[in-house]
A and B are shown apart, each in its own frame.
Chain A
């Protein structure tokens, strides 16, 4: 195993699930944008608590 792939593996292990899904399942931009969408929805949900109570 060369240095680069070793580093990649160690980074993936260190950073956990996010990068595992980025490395194994979907392209990085795709994973990033999907996490942004989830965050946007959670922020909207948080803001909705201002009114929905």
Chain B
């Protein structure tokens, strides 16, 4: 909206042309999202506490987590509100990628909202059944995949790019593209949700990965930079940098309240939506495999759950002391803050490795 206003004002006052720059709008989006979250956050936390919208803690989890019971949850609604307002303010609303990513994020947020609402407000411990949750997630991801395939105007829009290998580019068929989109969006969404088990553990890697994806989106949307770096040019993808900036800003502000000891948890409404947002951006900028690298912590957390379940069903034995992986390390004696900060450090290194693929190919 503000971009349209600036473009209209620029007809008379040249200064307003500065808002056409994606880099400036990305920084402004991050600042705006940060500001909104800081302003609304304390009131929202008080309201959540007043309405007794508190987290229930799994009884079979680490004993140290029992004190967290009752901490306000569904704080992800704060993140999503900030992201949505900021994107509508600073994004180019004529860009269809902006709408795809925004609607996907809000769609997954709605699934998480229903799940959280049933658990917390209706005191239904099961929330939304796993089958319903997966069905809704699948429906949205498939619609996204089909739409992006249908809207693709260049071969680069649907090719699979292999990091570090310049000449390994695989054209995907419609089925393969939609299947890949499905797995990336649904997989990332659930992986972030599984990671969201310790204070600040999920949000900081989300901020770091979204920051890196903003760079990928900017480069992919710029004909000169994409040619220089040898990555596919995706016209219009640069606008996603603004969206990623909003995620980073809203996420950092949320971390302010979510740092140990957390005043609020994001809940499924935040975790499912943020994961889906990262997955969708990665699909559009054709960096699914780089997301796999940069989101390594999310991947490992999800894989630890799969291994644990498979091992227990097949052999009756557990591979980890507890899954997801962060609980394993807690039970090994690491303090919660140690697990969190060490996982952040690992993500920082993985994000650097991911960014290195821009040049090293």
Chains A and B bind each other: yes
Q: Which A residues are closer than 8 A to B by beta carbons?
A: 27, 29-30, 32-34, 37, 40-41, 44, 48, 51-52
How distant is A21 from chain B, measured CB to nearest CB, in Å? Answer: 14
Is residue B202 contacting chain A, with contact meaning CB distance below 8 A? no
Q: Give B27-54 interface residues, CB cut-off 8 Å to A.
A: 27, 30, 34
| Chain A residues whose C-beta falls within 8 Å of the C-beta of B34 in the assembled complex | 41
Q: What is the interface of chain B mostly: helix, strand, loop, or mixed?
A: helix
Question: Which of A27, A37, A40 makes the CB contact (< 8 A) with B260?
Answer: A27
Whether A40 touches B252, Cβ cut-off 8 Å, given contacts A29-B337, A33-B260, is: yes
Please, how many angstroms separate the alpha-carbon atoms of A41 and B34 in the complex? 10
Q: What is the interface of chain A mostly: helix, strand, loop, or mixed?
A: helix
Question: Which of B23, B256, B261 makes the CB contact (< 8 A) with A34?
Answer: B256
Q: Tell me the count of chain B residues lying within 8 A, CB to CB, of chain A.
A: 13
How distant is A42 from chain B, measured CB to nearest CB, in Å? Answer: 12
With a 10 A CB-CB cut-off, give which of A27, A29, A40, A44 has the most chain B CB atoms. Answer: A29
Q: Are B260 and A41 in contact (CB under 8 A)?
A: no
Closest 10 CB pairs of A and B: A33-B259, A29-B260, A29-B337, A30-B259, A27-B261, A37-B252, A48-B27, A51-B23, A37-B256, A34-B256
Q: Are B24 and A51 in contact (CB under 8 A)?
A: yes
CB nearest to A40 among chain B residues: B252
| Chain A residues whose C-beta falls within 8 Å of the C-beta of B30 in the assembled complex | 44
Is residue B255 contacting chain A, with contact meaning CB distance below 8 A? yes
Please, how many angstroms separate the alpha-carbon atoms of A6 and B10 in the complex? 64
Q: Mark B306-348, 1 if CB is under 8 A from A, else 0.
A: 0000000000000000000000000000000100000000000
| Chain A residues whose C-beta falls within 8 Å of the C-beta of B261 in the assembled complex | 27, 29-30
How distant is B68 from chain A, measured CB to nearest CB, in Å? Answer: 13
Please, how many angstroms separate the alpha-carbon atoms of A30 and B259 in the complex? 5
What are 25 contact pairs spanning A and B, CB under 8 A? A27-B260, A27-B261, A29-B259, A29-B260, A29-B261, A29-B337, A30-B259, A30-B260, A30-B261, A32-B259, A33-B200, A33-B255, A33-B259, A33-B260, A34-B256, A34-B259, A37-B252, A37-B255, A37-B256, A40-B252, A41-B34, A44-B27, A48-B27, A51-B23, A52-B27
CB nearest to B30 among chain A residues: A44
| Chain A residues whose C-beta falls within 8 Å of the C-beta of B260 in the assembled complex | 27, 29-30, 33
Please, how many angstroms separate the alpha-carbon atoms of A32 and B240 in the complex? 31
